[in-house]
Chains A and B, each alone.
Chain A
Amino acid sequence: MKVFWAFARQSFHSMAIYRFDFWLRVSTILLLMYSVRWVWITLYTQRPGAFGVNLEQMVTYGVLSMAIENLFYSFGVQYYMSQQVRSGAIDVDLLKPLDFHFHMLARNTGQMLFRLFIMILPAMLCGYFFFGLQPPATLLAGFQFAFALLLGYLVGFHLEFLLGSIALVTLEIHSIDWAFNALLRFFSGQFVPLWLFPGVLGTLAALLPFRSLFAIPLSIYIGALSGDAIIPAISLQLFWLAALALISRWLWGRVQARIVSQGG
């Protein structure tokens, strides 16, 4: 745990250097929260009752999904891996007495904790005061939301770690990452709640791991998912977390074996 905090401290120092990036991200979040709120208000005026939940819930869903965006999107681990291997600096990482997968998890989580306090919580407060973000449906829902969000974060990390390992085999990161981001934004329910997806698309979204990141925690938060209905949702997150952890560790093992036999 100490290592996680140590990495969080590191990102505080890095972030203090990249002030421009920080303010750019903050203003983007505020702009997105503002826009998404007006989009839903406009849609609800046109066709009230067409979206399955009431306006307050929908605005909360939309604004919160923007506020927590930076929990998942960062200078992802996949870029770090690709950069280290290409430059040969991966040697220095392997020289440390750390399991590489654990090292990446600690590094990523440290940075995430930093963003949680410096960006996400302030964004949620702004959402509450200015953009109609409601508190969680119930206190229990609040705790369940936090737990589901943690699982979502871990699923997201492993997707990126897997992506990084694949990119090291194909030696190409940008196009893969672009496709991944498109899939993620669409199937995670960040912009459009998944219950509005028709037929096959809805089934597909329900099975893919992406909804662990936004759709499940957010649905719990607004009370659209409650009681026993939570269990299958959390189980799906746990299933994907276990599956992705196994697959990505296995693939990274292969990549590392190649690095240590071919010297990068």
Chain B
Amino acid sequence: MIKVEHLTKDYQRVKRREGFLGGLRTLFSAEYETTRAVDDISFHIKEGELVGYIGPNGAGKSTSIKMLCGILVPTSGQIEVNGLIPHKNRMENARQIGAVFGQKTQLWWDVPVIESLRLFRDIYKVPETQFKHNLNLFNDLLDLHEFQNTPVRQLSLGQRMRADMAAALLHNPRLLFLDEPMIGVDVVAKDRLRTFIQQINREQKVTILLTTHDMGDIEKVCSRIMIIDHGRIVYDGNIDQMRAKYGTQRTLVVEFEEPIADFDAPHATLVKSEGRKKWFAFNRFETSPSTLITYIGAHFPILDLAVEEPEIEAIVRTIYQGQPGDGRQSGS
């Protein structure tokens, strides 16, 4: 469905000089500096996949999505989206994809949602039967009817995202790009959007690429995750594999029957102590929970215990931090 090979994108920006005279000189002779936003990335996405695309701010996520949409031309490398080269066939490509940019709405600000959707129908030449069918579907899944006569500027953020999703899917695209669709959306609305994303992926067989900062989205929704940092893909695979590879750190939480002075256990470090509870961090390749519990239980009376898995957020943080700064190109 999507084939990306050695994709690179450089931005050229005018180097600003300081001061008034500097500004004046820029008018006549500009110096450019190059920043590399996307650095030689390659990946394939098969039909029906739901891929999470994550990375810190400025890592190159939006840049790569824009190239897939055909509204940004790559510096080098190949892109193919369902057989088309997006930046060479922008309009044709636009018909087969849908996109939601969390930061910008596609809808017309002043008019009721339903009017915006009708204009989408006319622009994408959606047949009337398909339009009605999709509206009913979105009514069921997104409760569109609650706010379809409200102008977009009066919608809450969660409602606006729902409306934007509906607009992006009206023409039955095979492929959906979601660029931070959950940004600023509250917990309940988020949950609903997640369910919706899964539903259209499963039932309508829409291939989805989802950009997000919310690890909850990734854990609950995606089957595969790609992590990009400094313009490079640093991880591509499923979440369980990622846990197995990077999530070696576990925490054992022990509650004792009485307050006890701090102590260290073999191959484990005491990371926190609070009342009668203590937290021990250990690497699961160096020791096992049972060994630890036996050791501690032999010395002190234990009331309760729990082993905590690392949060996915912590794993991702390790992966980001594991990337040396020289991954970023200074440009040439």
Query: Which of B11, B95, B101, B110 is A14 in contact with, Cβ under 8 Å?
Result: B110
Q: Is the CB of B118 within 8 A of A6?
A: yes
On chain A, the residues within 8 Å of B13 by CB distance are: 262
Please name the residue on chain A nearest to B91 by beta carbon.
A97
Tell whether A172 is near chain B: CB-to-CB under 8 Å: no
Q: Does B124 contact A (CB under 8 A)?
A: yes
Q: Does A47 contact B (CB under 8 A)?
A: no
In the assembled complex, the Cα of A6 lies from the Cα of B120 at a distance in Å of 9
Name the contact of A91 in the complex, choosing from B91, B104, B110 (C-beta under 8 A): B104
Q: A residues within 8 A CB of B119? A: 6-7, 9-10
Q: Is the CB of A95 within 8 A of B111?
A: no
Of the candidates B63, B71, B118, the one whose C-beta lies within 8 Å of that of A95 is: B71
Q: Which of B66, B94, B105, B124 touches A263 (beta carbons < 8 Å)?
A: B66
B154 to chain A, nearest CB (A): 10
Tell me the smallest distance from the CB of A24 to a CB of chain B, in Å. 17
Question: Is A261 close to B, CB under 8 A?
Answer: yes
Q: Mark B121-153 against chain A: 1 for CB-CB distance below 8 A, else 0.
A: 011100000000000000000000000000100
Write out the residue numbers on chain B whose beta carbons fall within 8 Å of the beta carbon of A261: 72-73
What string of 1s and 0s marks CB contacts (under 8 Å) between B80-119 and chain A?
0000000100111011000101001110101110010011
What separation, in Å, do the CA atoms of A94 and B69 have in the docked complex?
9
Q: Is the CB of A17 within 8 A of B71?
A: no
User: Could you say which of B92, B112, B122 contacts A6, with CB atoms under 8 Å apart?
Assistant: B122
Contact B115 A260, beta carbon cutoff 8 Å: no
Q: Is A96 within 8 A of B110, CB to CB?
A: no
Q: Does B12 contact A (CB under 8 A)?
A: yes
Nearest CB of A to B61, in Å: 13
Q: Which of A18, A87, A260 contacts B71 (CB 8 A)?
A: A260
A19 close to B (CB within 8 Å): no
B91:A99 contact, CB within 8 angstroms? yes
Q: Which of B215-236 contact A (CB under 8 A)?
A: none
* A97 to B71 CA separation, bound complex (whole angstroms): 11
- Flag whether A88 is at the interface (Cβ < 8 A): yes
CB-defined contacts of A263 to chain B, threshold 8 Å: 11, 63, 66, 72
Tell me the number of A-to-B contacts counted with CB atoms below 8 Å: 72
Whole-angstrom CA separation of A18 from B109 in the bound complex:
13
A residues contacting the other copy or chain, number (CB 8 A): 27
- Write out, one digit per residue, whether chain B residues 202-213 have a CB within 8 A of any chain A CB (1) or not (0): 000000000000
Give the secondary structure class of B's interface.
mixed
Interchain CB contact under 8 A, B122 and A3: yes
- Give the CA-CA distance A99 to B91 in the complex, in Å: 7
Complex CA gap A123/B291 in Å reads 91
Give Cα A97–Cα B108 distance, bound, in whole angstroms.
16
Nearest-Cβ distance from residue B148 to partner chain A, whole angstroms: 13
> How far, in whole Å, are A87 and B124 apart by their CA atoms in the complex?
24
15 extra interchain contacts, Cβ-Cβ under 8 A, other than A3-B123, A97-B94, A97-B123?
A6-B118, A9-B115, A13-B115, A13-B151, A91-B101, A92-B105, A94-B71, A95-B69, A96-B94, A96-B106, A98-B123, A99-B91, A260-B87, A262-B11, A263-B11
Q: List 15 A-B contacts (CB under 8 A).
A: A6-B118, A9-B115, A9-B119, A13-B111, A14-B111, A18-B110, A91-B71, A94-B71, A95-B71, A95-B99, A97-B123, A259-B71, A260-B87, A263-B11, A263-B66
